[in-house]
Amino acid sequence: MKLWQKETSTNNLVEQFTVGQDREMDLFLASFDVLGSLAHTKMLNSIGLLPDEDLATVQQELKNIYKEIADGKFTIDEGVEDVHSQVEMLLTQRIGEAGKKIHSGRSRNDQVLVDLKLFFRSQIQEMVGSVKELFELLIQLAATHKEKLMPGYTHLQIAMPSSFGLWFGAYAESLIDDLELLLASYKICNKNPLGSAAGYGSSFPLNRTMTTQLLGFDHLNYNVVYAQMGRGKTERILSQAMSSIAATLNKMAMDACLFMNQNFGFISFPDELTTGSSIMPHKKNPDVWELIRGRTNQLQALPNQIMMLTTNLPSGYHRDMQLQKETLFPAFQSLMACLDITKFMLKNIKIKDNILDDPKYQYLFSVEEVNKLVLAGTPFREAYQKVGLDIEAGNFGGKYEINHTHEGSIGNLNLPEVKAMMKDLIAEFKFEKIEKAINDLIS
């Protein structure tokens, strides 16, 4: 079944090629397609295009289908082109003529657009929840291990004293900036394209403000041409936010691989969270972190993949856009898997004590000695030269106290302030407004 089909059948080879993985990908959109239809049919009723008795019948059966989807009982039949066709077919089979009326005033183009935006909003909410959990874990680890010193590196050379409080806290704060990007993409996703039809509006007197409110969107995509142009752009901006989260996880994974290495030996994990070698009995490989690193590298390529699918398209709809689903939808699952396994690994991390007691780290404290001389009245450049000469002559060493007190330093992590930033940021998503709108639609 095809919503556009008349009397001519499509060649089988063309059919297979053009449909591609659309049926599989559309299963992700099924519940959101029903939500869009619930809102759209209420609007049709309000403008006199769907009688009250038809509305009641359609709404009830759409809610039945929504429950079937939630219960995992919904499928797209062989020979049915997409989720939109399947839902309309089920309605028509079950309630008759009323099911044929639900497509008035819309095209598959804006139907897909609204499904995608509702789906993206849902995925963003899941990502925000998972990132928040990781953030809270990192803050907890930063507070727990704030007294444990470690070497800091520049150019992978021993540089200055750092701490595990700083290390964990750095990734926590990085996630805040990642969510700033995700918030920007959320605001773009949270605009209603429904009513743009095929990209040029409709001669029906549609009430687009009504569907915007029913679906919990903050705004409309007012210009109907831009509503269509937004496809591809929305996905690209969302993928950029996802790639930013992935970049944070990627750097952490690389650090973990290094710090587990015997030449560092800063952190370890229980044996059951590492893997071994088929011929080297001593090996404990960081496979989990390596796969996080690999997956997040793939995710960082996502914006470019989407851009290359849409970069040379003129305005209006083009079938190229269908391929974005195959690129983006699995990426949501991959990023969530990386977030989940990162949290699991960090809950089992072990930190080595007294790392800086190793003599090879004595030069970490050269800046501490320079600053000590400056505080005693020596000009900085002279103090720097003196300590440098002492190092070259082999006269530098001893124990040094760390006295870093400024904001964001070893002795002042500002964890409450960082937590407040995250709390304020998450409040800006206003997920509760969407949840209420959806609950009102399906109740």
Q: Is there a contact between 68 and 74 (Cβ–Cβ < 8 Å)?
A: yes
Task: Tokens for 98, please give them.
Answer: 């009323």
pLDDT beyond 80 at 329: yes
Distance CA 346, CA 258 (A): 15
Three-state DSSP class for residue 269: coil
The CATH T-level fold of domain 12-101 is Fumarase C; Chain B, domain 1 (1.10.275)
- The candidate with the shortest Cα–Cα distance to 105, out of 39, 163, 9, is 39
Task: Tokens for 155, please give them.
Answer: 């150019």
- pLDDT tier for residue 29 given thresholds of 50, 70 and 90: very high
CATH class of 108-208+221-357+413-442: mainly alpha
pLDDT beyond 90 at 184: yes
Distance CA 70, CA 204 (A): 33
Region of residue 109 (left: phi > 0; alpha: psi -120 to 50; beta: else): alpha
Three-state DSSP class for residue 224: helix
pLDDT at position 4: 43
Task: Tokens for 359, please give them.
Answer: 């003599």
pLDDT beyond 50 at 9: yes
What mean pLDDT comes out for the span 267-285?
80
Q: Could you tell me which residues come within 8 angstroms of residue 200 by beta carbon, excluding any fewer than 6 positions away? A: 224, 225
Distance CA 109, CA 228 (A): 8
Distance CA 84, CA 68 (A): 15
pLDDT at position 284: 82
Q: Is there a contact between 149 and 180 (Cβ–Cβ < 8 Å)?
A: no
* 228-245: pLDDT as tens digits: 999 999 999 999 999 999
Q: Is there a contact between 411 and 402 (Cβ–Cβ < 8 Å)?
A: yes
- The candidate with the shortest Cα–Cα distance to 198, out of 304, 112, 131, is 112
Q: What is the mean pLDDT of the chain?
A: 92
CB atoms within 10 A of CB 79: 9
Domain boundaries, the chain: 12-101, 108-208+221-357+413-442
Angle at 18 between CA 16 and CA 20, to 5 degrees: 65
pLDDT beyond 60 at 115: yes
Distance CA 383, CA 372 (A): 9
